[in-house]
């Protein structure tokens, strides 16, 4: 059993497996070279050979315990026929929603559109570098996908005042999203994913209606993944009450963000914990890094813990700091 799976399934506290969100990304010179030659991000995600190569870059360089497939949570709206593009210095831009068109998408149409993602997972999982390592697949949580599809870009300034105005659209879209998230997960698992992580990047936007839009839809997805006998990690970023989330949604493990007090978390949550370190710590110096990393390792010393960050690794992160981070985690006693 590979280290991350062992930590989750057996509540193993003897080691701290490590992987990082966005570990296959812009901080790596080898990734930047591929990206320079492939400007269209969606096309790059759908190039199974390059997506597999990118996924394995941090494994070759650092020897992380898991490889997270190079893809994007917005492959879901893309598969449903909504226009998705990434604009430099802006981020994702989505087209208008045509509910009639989306309602007519069937499972075959969807799978054909994003098939190359599954092909990349299959190719990567069969690589000898993946021996005793976990192939990690992922999806966006229903709420976060809903936010992107309706908002049509990152809601960095919060939800628009009229976000919920079309009640029928919101609820019908949520049903469709749930259905195709399950299909997207099933296809990833069949291709070789050994763990699924659910990213609820915009969970922190909701002050009210949390049960309706976060707890219940995410629970439906978590229960589906468990039926596939695959561990599921949830990352409800920005949510105020992790304890309540874990008690209702019941993931196998939960990723905490860097605004959360880890001492409070370790007292309140029994399931394996992942993450927490602020990615900005990797932009400081080795002494600060050691202090902050060991703080998390000491807090979770007697609790099953997967070392990760409280958000994705930042593009300006230096390679030497990632090497130092791994050394600190591996040498911790």
pTM beyond 0.95: the answer is: yes
Between 250 and 208, the higher pLDDT residue: 250
Tracing tokens 């998408």 back to the chain, one arrives at 105
**Gap between the Cα atoms of 182 and 104, Å rounded:** 17
> Cβ(78)–Cβ(87) under 8 Å?
no
Share of the chain above pLDDT 90, in %: 93
Q: Residue 251 CA to chain centroid, in angstroms?
A: 14
Q: Which of 126, 248, 252, 109 is nearest to 180 (CA)?
A: 109
Second CATH level (architecture) for the domain 28-261 = Alpha-Beta Barrel (3.20)
pLDDT number for residue 158: 78
**Gap between the Cα atoms of 241 and 219, Å rounded:** 16
Domain ranges of the chain: 28-261
Rounded to the nearest 10°, the torsion over CA 56, 62, 67, 71 is -60
pLDDT digits (tens, 9 = 90+) for 63-122: 999 999 999 999 999 999 999 999 887 889 999 999 999 999 999 999 999 999 999 999
Between 157 and 79, the higher pLDDT residue: 79
pLDDT number for residue 267: 97
Average pLDDT value over all residues in the chain: 96
Tokens standing for residue 169: 């659209």
Mean pLDDT calculated for residue range 278-289: 98
- For residue 207, pLDDT over 90 is answered with no
């Amino acid at each position: 059993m590979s280290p991350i799976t062992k930590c989750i399934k057996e509540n193993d506290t003897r080691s701290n497996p490590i992987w990082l969100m966005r570990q296959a990304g812009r901080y790596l010179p080898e990734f930047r070279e591929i990206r320079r030659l492939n400007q269209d991000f969606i096309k790059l995600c759908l190039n199974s050979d390059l997506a597999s190569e990118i996924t394995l870059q941090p494994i070759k360089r650092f020897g992380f315990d898991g490889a997270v497939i190079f893809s994007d949570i917005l492959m879901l709206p893309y598969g449903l026929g909504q226009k998705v593009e990434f604009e430099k210095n802006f981020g994702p831009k989505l087209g208008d929603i045509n509910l009639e068109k989306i309602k007519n998408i069937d499972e075959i149409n969807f799978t054909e559109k994003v098939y190359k993602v599954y092909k990349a997972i299959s190719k990567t999982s069969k690589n000898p570098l993946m021996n005793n390592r976990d192939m990690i697949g992922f999806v966006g949580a229903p709420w976060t996908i809903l936010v992107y599809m309706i908002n049509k870009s990152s809601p960095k300034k919060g939800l628009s005042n009229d976000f919920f105005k079309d009640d029928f659209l919101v609820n019908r879209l949520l049903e469709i999203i749930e259905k195709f998230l399950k299909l997207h997960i099933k296809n990833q698992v069949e291709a070789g994913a050994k763990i699924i992580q659910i990213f609820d990047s915009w969970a922190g936007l909701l002050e009210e209606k949390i049960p309706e839009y976060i707890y219940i839809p995410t629970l439906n997805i978590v229960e589906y993944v468990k039926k596939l006998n695959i561990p599921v990690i949830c990352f409800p970023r920005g949510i105020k009450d992790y304890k309540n989330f874990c008690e209702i949604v019941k993931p196998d493990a939960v990723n905490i963000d860097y605004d959360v007090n880890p001492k409070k978390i370790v007292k309140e949550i029994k399931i394996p914990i992942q993450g927490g370190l602020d990615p900005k710590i990797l932009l400081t110096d080795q002494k600060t890094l050691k202090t902050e990393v060991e703080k998390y390792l000491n807090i979770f010393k007697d609790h099953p813990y997967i070392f990760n960050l409280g958000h994705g690794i930042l593009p300006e992160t230096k390679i030497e700091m990632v090497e130092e981070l791994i050394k600190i985690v591996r040498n911790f006693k």
